[in-house]
Amino acid sequence: MAFAHRRMPFMVLGALSLLAALWAGLIRLGWALPPFAATEPPNHGPLMVSGFLGTVIGLERAVALRRRWAYGAPLLAGLGGLAWVIGLSVHVGHALTAAGSAFLIAIFVTLYRQHPTVYLAAMGLGAVSWLGGTLVWHGGAPLHRVVPWWIGFLVLTIAGERLELSRLMRLGAWSRAGFLAAGGVFVLGLLADLSAPELGVRLGGIGLLALAVWLLRNDIAWRTLRQSGLPRYMALSMLSGYVWLGVGGLLWLGFAGRFIAGPFYDAMLHSIFLGFVFSMIFGHAPIILPSVLGVALPFRRAFYAHWALLHLSVLARVGGDLGLPMLAPAWSGLANVLAIVLFLVNSARAVRLGPEA
Amino acid sequence: MAPTTAAVLEALKQVYDPEIPVDVVNLGLVYDVTIEDGVVRIKMTTTSPGCPVGDYLAQEVERILGKLDGVEQVRVEFVWDPPWSPELMSAHGRKSLGWG
Q: Specify burial of residue A70 (Cβ count, 10 A radius: 0-12, 13-18, 19+).
A: buried
pLDDT one-digit tens code per residue, A171-195: 889 999 999 999 999 999 999 999 9
- Which residues of chain B form beta strands (DSSP E)? 30-36, 39-44, 73-78
What is the C-alpha end-to-end distance of chain A, expressed in Å? 27
The three-class DSSP label of residue B73 is strand
The pTM is what?
Answer: 0.93
* pLDDT tens track for A219-261: 999 999 999 999 999 999 999 999 999 999 999 999 999 999 9
Give chain B's end-to-end CA distance (angstroms, integer). Answer: 40
CB contact under 8 A, B86 and A230: no
Alpha-carbon gap, residue A199 to A81, rounded angstroms: 31
Give the three-state DSSP class for B43. strand
CB contact under 8 Å between B55 and A227, yes or no, is: no
Percent of chain A with pLDDT over 70: 97
pLDDT on residue B52: 86
Asked if the C-beta of B55 comes within 8 angstroms of chain A's C-beta atoms, the answer is: yes
pLDDT given for residue A326 in this prediction: 82
Asked if B49 is an interface residue toward chain A (Cβ–Cβ < 8 A), one would say: yes
State the pLDDT confidence band at A3, using cuts at 50, 70 and 90.
low
Least confident of A181-190, A208-217, A306-315, B76-85: B76-85
Residues 6+ apart with CB under 8 A from A57: A104, A157
pLDDT-derived band at A34, boundaries 50, 70, 90:
confident
Taking an 8 Å Cβ-Cβ cutoff, which residues of chain A contact chain B?
A: 1, 4, 60-61, 63-66, 107-108, 111, 114-115, 117, 119-120, 123, 164-165, 167-170, 220-221, 223-224, 227, 230-231, 234-235, 286-288, 290-292, 294, 296
To test the contact with chain B by mutation, choose from A291, A295, A299, A351 the residue with the greatest count of B C-beta atoms within 10 A, namely A291
CATH architecture of B5-84: 2-Layer Sandwich (3.30)
**Alpha carbon of residue A218 to chain centroid:** 21
Spell out which residues of chain A touch residue B80, defining contact as CB-CB under 8 Å: 114-115
**By the 8 A CB rule, do B31 and B84 touch?**
no
Average pLDDT, chain A: 93
Q: Which amino acid would we find at residue A357?
A: A
CA atoms of A323 and A316, how far apart (whole Å)? 11
Angle between helices B54-65 and B5-12 (to 10 degrees): 120
Comparison of pLDDT for A32 and A1, the residue scoring more: A32
pLDDT given at position A116: 93
pLDDT at residue A40, as a whole number: 59
Enumerate helices (H) and strands (E) in chain B, giving the number of each.
3, 3
Q: CB contact, 8 Å: B83 with chain A? A: yes
Q: Which residue of A has its CA nearest to B76?
A: A1
Q: What's the pLDDT at A160?
A: 96
**Which pLDDT band, with edges at 50, 70 and 90, does A90 fall under?**
confident
Contacts of B58 in chain A (CB under 8 A): 1
- State pLDDT tens for residues B77-99: 999 989 999 999 999 999 988 88
Domain assignments of chain B as residue spans, ordered by start: 5-84
pLDDT at A87: 85
- Whether omega for the bond prior to residue A298 falls within 30 degrees of 0, making it cis, is no
Confidence of residue A42 (pLDDT cuts 50, 70, 90): low
Residue type, A298: P
Mean pLDDT, range B61-81, rounded to an integer = 93
